[in-house]
Amino acid sequence: MEPRRALKLAVGVVADRARWPESMPGGLDWGAGILGQYAAVAAWTDGRDWLEVVRREIEERVGELEPLLAEHLPGVRYHRPSASYLAWLDCRGLGLGDDPAAAFLERGRVLLSSGPAFGPGGAGFARLNIGTSPELMAEAVRRMALAV
């Protein structure tokens, strides 16, 4: 499978500039590339059909993740996200400690976001990006099961 490429650009809509955290990495200049800027304009003006396809694909991944977890990682609890391609996984039942993402990386060779990085309530959790192909998501879950 050919790897997908990304264009460097992030967009934030700030309603109240006074509440914008000054401690954000890099301040307000995160070095967006010119190609990312052109892609953003194209997406906002002509991207509705593409967005609908992406939304359908993400909803498919969400539906596919639940049976994968039930089969390979029945100790993981997961609640469907309301609007995200990021799955917040409750791994406390696996006995992998406060940072299960570290175990998944070391033993399964899968990089997830560490739950504790999101604050004290993140202990025992990990975040999985499911904005990918069904094959890659299934492979990630199978590798995560190797860590248990």
Q: How far apart are CA 102 and CA 108, in angstroms?
A: 10
pLDDT in tens, the chain (148 residues): 455 566 666 666 666 666 666 655 545 555 567 777 788 888 889 989 988 998 999 999 999 999 999 999 999 999 888 878 999 999 999 999 999 999 999 999 999 999 999 998 999 999 999 999 999 999 999 999 999 9
Type of residue found at 10:
A
CB 8 within 8 A of CB 33: yes
Work out the burial of residue 1: count CB atoms within 10 Å of its CB; fewer than 13 is exposed, 13-18 middle, 19 or more buried.
Answer: exposed
pLDDT confidence of residue 43: 83
pLDDT confidence of residue 42: 86
Q: How far apart are CA 97 and CA 49, in angstroms?
A: 43
CB 87 within 8 A of CB 130: yes
pLDDT confidence of residue 109: 96
pLDDT confidence of residue 67: 96
